[in-house]
Amino acid sequence: MIIYRRPSERLKSSEKLSLDQRGLKRVPLLEGEEKVKYFNLQNNQIEKIENLVSLPNLTFLDLSSNKVSEISS
């Protein structure tokens, strides 16, 4: 899954992205989100941490209330 935000949404909050309570089973690929520092994925069904290579500035990742059992590079 690939997630795109509208340019106006990205400008409003370029460093923060919240995808909590979306029923996600995987960490989505993010296009054009290199500025994201804070990424919230709380309350989903994610089992594997992956697809974070496109977020070079990421400093905080919230995966609480998920089903994480594997971390991939």
Q: What is the pTM of this model?
A: 0.88
CA atoms of 56 and 35, how far apart (whole Å): 8
Tokens 């979306």 found at:
22
Percent of the chain with pLDDT over 90: 67
Closest CA to 40 of 19, 68, 69: 19
Q: Are 26 and 48 in contact (CB under 8 A)?
A: yes
Domains and CATH numbers, the chain: 1-73 (3.80.10.10)
Which of 2-16, 22-36, 40-54 shows the lowest mean pLDDT across its residues? Answer: 2-16
> Residue 12 pLDDT more than 80?
yes
